Amino acid sequence: MKEAAIRLDLDEILEKAAGGVKLDRQEVVFLLSRTEEKDTEKIFSRARETRNHYFDDKIFLYGFVYFSTYCRNDCTFCFYRRSNAVSARYRKTHEEILETAEKLTASGVHLLDLTMGEDPFYFNEGHFEDLLEITRAVKERSGLPVMISPGVVPREILEEFSKVGVDWYACYQETHNRDLYAKMRLNQDYDERLNLKYYAHELGMLSEEGLLAGIGETTEDLAHSFEVMDELSADQVRVMSFVPQEGTPLEKLQILPRLREMLVIALMRLLFPDRLIPASLDVDGIAGLKQRLNSGANVITSIIPPDQGLMGVSQSTLDIREGGRTVNGTIPILNELGLKPASAGDYANWVRERKKLYLPVL
Ligand code: SAM
Ligand code: MD0
Ligand code: SF4
């Protein structure tokens, strides 16, 4: 270990990354293990330069529509796990979803993310048709690119989603350490979940992969996760710090400093310079936006209209009613950092160009 510390040089590694040379696992672990501010600031600053090189000062904005909080699964980290009696459950009607989508669109978001728990109403009671119908309507009326985050749906349903014009399939492993995965996503097949993202690409859709920070992963696990993300050629890559949830098995888990998440964002930027990387408002609300953008993120996610009775995931209520998680709420922070919202056209172009990598087989 001592020898490694002597041989590895921060400036050299950052130079290498900036020059587009792939970092090896040891170098990634070294960067992820930095704790001194003078070192971490060098990493963040390089990540910002890289983002600005690829995306200029333009930031993409995602509207978040968590339209059903029912779930058949029991993920240990999640507030909405089936056996949690304290979480608020709702399933929005088509009209409510369309109204929310309209409000978000009018407020200036660039994409709508339709998210749900693995709601038994859709999964077990044969209402997938409803889901496709509402997705089609949202896509048509908003004219915006659409992401779906429905959990692990049957392959035929993913095919149907691609046919109604869904642009993105988001589904996160959280970790690529299979043992840790099995402890987090109880009774959920690792490969089935991962393979569905490959299948999304085969269908011509883009895919998002994501990690949780602070659930017991090691820095080696994270370096391995980056390799899996690379192999998948995930078009958007994310990390969110684990937020302990009332009524769940991990309620009392000791949390890590936010530095872990920020370094993962920065590493993602250095390793996947041209990809989309979220700064989620769902972890620390609007107060946490600046540090995530300063770590190299180029997308703001979890923008939620204040008056629709909608919830967040890891922060179910933080800043929502107050209107903090809105496009307007983000503008002063963007201004302060010399950044600005992209145009809808900029975002649609990015999606169109990126999709050229995946020619649909169906
Ligand atoms: N149910 C779908 C699924 O699991 O794929 C989609 C929605 S799920 C609620 C979205 C994501 O929220 C999870 O994949 C996880 O990354 C994140 N999440 C859930 N609980 C969290 C927590 N306690 N802290 C941080 N992130 C959390
Ligand atoms: C977010 N709360 O973007 C949302 C959610 C699901 N695709 C995204 C985790 O932070
Ligand atoms: Fe359900 Fe998704 Fe929460 Fe797991 S993370 S319990 S699948 S809503």
Spacing, Cα 91 to ligand 2 middle (Å) = 17
Note the pLDDT of residue 2. Answer: 52
- Sites in the chain below the pLDDT cut of 50: 3
Spacing, Cα 106 to ligand 2 middle (Å) = 20
Pocket probe mutation, ligand 2, options 282, 298, 325, max atoms within 8 Å of Cβ: 282
pTM of the model: 0.97
Q: Are 290 and 67 in contact (CB under 8 A)?
A: no
Nearest CA owner, ligand 3 atom 4? 75
Tell which residue, 143, 237, 160, 148, has the closest CA to residue 203.
Answer: 160
Domain around 9: 2-358
Instruction: Report which bound ligand comes closest to the CA of 242.
Output: 1
Spacing, Cα 210 to ligand 2 middle (Å) = 10
Q: Are 275 and 235 in contact (CB under 8 A)?
A: yes
Note the pLDDT of residue 124. Answer: 85
Encode burial over 205-216: b for 16+ CB neighbours within 10 A, e otherwise: bbbbbbbbbbbb
Tell which residue, 14, 13, 10, 50, has the closest CA to residue 269.
Answer: 50
Note the pLDDT of residue 44. Answer: 98
Instruction: Find residue 147's DSSP bridge partners.
Output: 113, 168
Q: How many domains does the chain have?
A: 1
CATH code of the domain in which 207 resides: 3.20.20.70
Query: Tens digits of per-residue pLDDT, 39-61?
Result: 999 999 999 999 999 999 999 99
SS3 of residue 111 by DSSP = strand
Q: Ligand 1 site: residues with CB under 6 angstroms?
A: 77-78, 115, 117-118, 149, 151, 171-172, 174, 210, 212, 240, 242-243, 245, 313-314
Q: Is 1 exposed, middle or buried (0-12, 13-18, 19+ CB in 10 A)?
A: exposed
Spacing, Cα 117 to ligand 3 middle (Å) = 5
Instruction: Report which bound ligand comes closest to the CA of 80.
Output: 3
Note the pLDDT of residue 359. Answer: 82
Nearest CA owner, ligand 2 atom 7? 149
SS3 of residue 146 by DSSP = strand
Pocket probe mutation, ligand 1, options 313, 316, 317, 318, max atoms within 8 Å of Cβ: 313
